[in-house]
């Protein structure tokens, strides 16, 4: 299903995401030559409704129109079919940011071909561009705590989130062969996220090497995900206390993203039992509700202060994925008292332990 081109398809720079299907038959990898032949790999539209990535490469390439790029660029235009309908993915399709390891249908084969192709070309760095469904500051997600990943991510934002799951995300897979980062550019259409991503890509095209200076961890807003917040599948819920008689989460929870949420904050009302209105699970899938929340009558209240991120009010995302995450600040390398278990399976299907490296 993958089309590989050695040029830009005609009209690519002026075609909107919903119209891409008119000029592309599906996922398309474009290799564009540059003076430095080690390519920068950029993927856009792995989620069809997240359009900042396409706009960013369109702006970037327009700036270089008629000139040779300073570095080769390999551009993957991902879920063209979902982009047509402005959807994350279509029914019956896998999430294109969950296909980069393991086995499945033709999408998994396509992702494997892209990885092989980029490994063969000795990819310089890999950038996957996304949007959030609710307001968040721009931030970068890194699959590894090593100097090259951190240096790359900090060129985009001071806010970094280290993640180990999902293992099948693009940057997890690319992190095995080159410095890799997922950049989150706020909601689609937000000018700041677009400008930041164009600047970031342009810097990378013009960069000989990634910065090697060690970064003090104390100076970074470096977080890791410690828990996922999920609404149990069958629950109905809302965010407007005037309209909702049952389970009602706080008004506009996204305003708390990357901010400290104080202990004692009322997170939801109308709960009818412990744990029944919100599941809080850690990376091992264990229930950690009591660590972060307590019940006060029918109200769900925070039991400690913490930093939430990616809180959304988008029902579809909440039902398909989650309400948001709880972050913990990383203050030391290796992270004190933490053994990070990397469940990415190798060819043998075995489990490996991944210990974060000291930068
Ligand atoms: Zn996304």
In the reported structure, the alpha carbon of residue 49 is separated from the centroid of ligand 1 by a whole-number distance in angstroms of: 8
Contact assessment for residue 152 and residue 146, using Cβ atoms and an 8 Å cutoff: no
In the reported structure, the alpha carbon of residue 132 is separated from the centroid of ligand 1 by a whole-number distance in angstroms of: 7
In the reported structure, the alpha carbon of residue 327 is separated from the centroid of ligand 1 by a whole-number distance in angstroms of: 18
Give the largest Cα separation in the chain, rounded. 66
Q: Which CATH architecture has domain 3-215?
A: 3-Layer(aba) Sandwich (3.40)
Give this prediction's pTM.
Answer: 0.86
Bridge pairing between strands 279-281 and 125-130: unpaired
231: three-class secondary structure by DSSP: coil
pLDDT (0 to 100) of residue 343: 36
In the reported structure, the alpha carbon of residue 155 is separated from the centroid of ligand 1 by a whole-number distance in angstroms of: 20
pLDDT (0 to 100) of residue 214: 65
In the reported structure, the alpha carbon of residue 87 is separated from the centroid of ligand 1 by a whole-number distance in angstroms of: 11
In the reported structure, the alpha carbon of residue 165 is separated from the centroid of ligand 1 by a whole-number distance in angstroms of: 14
In the chain, where does DSSP find H-type helix? 52-63, 80-84, 106-120, 147-154, 170-174, 191-205, 289-292, 315-320
Rounded to whole angstroms, the Cα distance separating 101 from 112 reads 8
CB count within 10 Å of CB 289 equals: 19
Q: Which two tokens stand for residue 159?
A: 């806010």
pLDDT (0 to 100) of residue 90: 96
pLDDT (0 to 100) of residue 316: 82
Over residues 306-356, the pLDDT tens digits come to: 999 999 998 888 987 899 999 998 877 654 433 333 333 333 233 333 332
pLDDT (0 to 100) of residue 275: 52
Rounded to whole angstroms, the Cα distance separating 114 from 97 reads 13
Q: Which two tokens stand for residue 1?
A: 């299903």
Rounded to whole angstroms, the Cα distance separating 78 from 101 reads 16
Tokens 């629950």: give the residue: 235
In the reported structure, the alpha carbon of residue 236 is separated from the centroid of ligand 1 by a whole-number distance in angstroms of: 25
In the chain, CATH 3.40.630.10 sits at: 3-215
Rounded to whole angstroms, the Cα distance separating 223 from 325 reads 11
Low-confidence ranges of the chain (pLDDT < 50): 335-359
In the reported structure, the alpha carbon of residue 93 is separated from the centroid of ligand 1 by a whole-number distance in angstroms of: 15
Contact assessment for residue 140 and residue 182, using Cβ atoms and an 8 Å cutoff: yes
Contacting residues for 24 by C-beta, under 8 A, at least 6 apart = 3, 9, 77, 80
In the reported structure, the alpha carbon of residue 185 is separated from the centroid of ligand 1 by a whole-number distance in angstroms of: 10
pLDDT (0 to 100) of residue 333: 64
In the reported structure, the alpha carbon of residue 241 is separated from the centroid of ligand 1 by a whole-number distance in angstroms of: 29
């Amino acid at each position: 299903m993958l089309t590989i081109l050695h040029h830009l398809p005609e009209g690519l720079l002026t075609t909107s995401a919903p119209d891409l299907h008119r000029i592309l038959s599906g996922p398309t990898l474009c290799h564009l030559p540059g003076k430095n032949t080690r390519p920068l790999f950029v993927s856009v539209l792995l989620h069809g409704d997240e359009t900042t990535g396409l706009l960013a490469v369109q702006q970037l390439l327009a700036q270089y129109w008629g000139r040779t790029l300073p570095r080769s660029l390999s551009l993957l235009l991902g879920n063209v079919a979902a982009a047509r309908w402005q959807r994350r993915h279509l029914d019956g399709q896998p999430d294109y940011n969950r296909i980069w390891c393991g086995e499945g249908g033709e999408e998994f084969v396509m992702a494997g071909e892209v990885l092989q192709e980029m490994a063969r070309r000795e990819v310089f760095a890999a950038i996957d561009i996304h949007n959030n469904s609710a307001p968040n500051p721009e931030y970068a997600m890194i699959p590894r705590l090593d100097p090259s990943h951190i240096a790359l991510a900090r060129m985009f934002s001071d806010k970094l989130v280290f993640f180990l799951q999902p293992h099948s995300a693009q940057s997890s897979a690319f992190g095995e062969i080159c410095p890799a980062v997922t950049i989150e550019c706020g909601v689609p259409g937000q000018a700041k996220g677009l400008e930041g991503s164009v600047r970031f890509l342009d810097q990378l095209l013009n960069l000989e090497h990634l910065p090697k200076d060690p970064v003090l961890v104390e100076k970074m807003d470096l977080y890791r995900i410690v828990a996922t917040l999920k609404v149990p599948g069958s629950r109905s819920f809302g965010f407007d206390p005037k309209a909702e008689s049952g389970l009602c989460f706080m008004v506009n929870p996204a305003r708390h993203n990357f901010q400290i949420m104080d202990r004692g904050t009322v997170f939801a009302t109308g709960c009818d039992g412990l744990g029944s209105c919100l599941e809080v699970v850690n990376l091992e899938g264990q229930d950690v509700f009591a660590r972060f929340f307590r019940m006060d009558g029918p109200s769900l209240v925070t039991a400690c202060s913490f930093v939430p991120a990616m809180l959304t009010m988008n029902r579809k995302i909440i039902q398909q994925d989650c309400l948001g995450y709880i972050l913990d600040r990383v203050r030391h390398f290796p992270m004190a008292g933490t053994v990070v278990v990397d469940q990415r399976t190798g060819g043998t299907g075995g489990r490996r332990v991944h210990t974060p490296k000291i930068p």
